[in-house]
Amino acid sequence: MWTTQAALVLLSGFLHVISAQDEAEPNIERQVDDPDTGRTMRGLVESKGYELEEHSVVTSDQVVIQLHRIPYARNSGPSSEPNKKVVFLAAPLFCSSSFYIDDFPNNTVAFIFADSGYDVWLGNTRGTPYGIRTTDGQVHDEKDRQFFDYTLIDHGVLDIKSQIDYILERTGSQSLSFFGHSQAAASGFALLSKLPEYNSRISAFASLGGFRTFGCNFKDPALNTVWRSMKSFAKSVQFFSAEFNWELMKQMCYNIWGACKSLLAKVIYGPASMSNHTRIPIYLEHYPHSSSIKNLLYYIQMQNNACRNDEHVYEFDYDDEDIITSPTSPNARTNEGTYGSRRPPALPVENIRVPVKVYYSEGDTLIPPSNQRKLIESLPNVVGEYYIASKDFVHGNFAHSPFNMTHIHDTIAFFDSYDSNAQAKPAPVNVIVGGSGSGNEAPTSCADCTIILTRSNSTQNSSSHKPPE
Does residue 302 form part of some domain?
A: no
Q: Which of 3-7, 92-96, 100-104, 161-165 has the least mean pLDDT?
A: 3-7
Does residue 464 form part of some domain?
A: no
pLDDT tens digits, one per residue of 181-240: 999 999 999 999 999 999 999 999 999 999 998 888 777 777 777 777 777 766 666 655
Structural domain of residue 138, as residue ranges? 31-213+349-453
| 248 confidence band (pLDDT: 50, 70, 90) | low
| 27 confidence band (pLDDT: 50, 70, 90) | very low
pLDDT tens digits, one per residue of 298-339: 999 999 999 899 989 999 999 988 777 554 454 578 999 999
- As a whole-number percent, the residues of the chain with pLDDT over 90 amount to 52
Distances (CA, A) of 60 to 294, 456, 463: 20, 37, 46
Q: What is the pLDDT of residue 239?
A: 58
Q: What is the DSSP string of 6-29?
A: HHHHHHHHHHHHHHHH-SS-----
Q: What is the pLDDT of residue 160?
A: 98
Mean pLDDT of the chain: 80
Does residue 3 form part of some domain?
A: no
Contact 85, 416 (CB under 8 A): yes
pLDDT tens digits, one per residue of 35-65: 999 999 999 999 999 999 999 999 999 999 9
User: 319-335: buried (b, 16+ CB within 10 Å) or exposed (e) per residue?
Assistant: ebeebbeeeeeeeeeeb
Does residue 416 form part of some domain?
A: yes
Distances (CA, A) of 455 to 103, 314, 414, 461, 464: 33, 28, 13, 6, 11
Between 459 and 236, residue with greater pLDDT: 236
Contact 404, 435 (CB under 8 A): yes
Does residue 101 form part of some domain?
A: yes
pLDDT tens digits, one per residue of 140-179: 887 788 898 999 999 999 999 999 999 999 999 999 999 9
Whole-angstrom Cα distance, residue 183 to residue 225? 21
Q: What is the pLDDT of residue 458?
A: 37
Contact 449, 406 (CB under 8 A): yes
CATH assignment of the domain containing 197: 3.40.50.1820
User: Treating both helix axes as pointing N-terminal to C-terminal, what angle do 2-21 and 257-264 enclose, rounded to 10 degrees?
Assistant: 70
H or E segment and range at residue 309: none
Does residue 437 form part of some domain?
A: yes
pLDDT tens digits, one per residue of 350-359: 999 999 999 9
The type of residue at 145 is: R
The number of distinct structural domains making up the chain is 1
Does residue 282 form part of some domain?
A: no
Does residue 377 form part of some domain?
A: yes
Entry pTM: 0.86
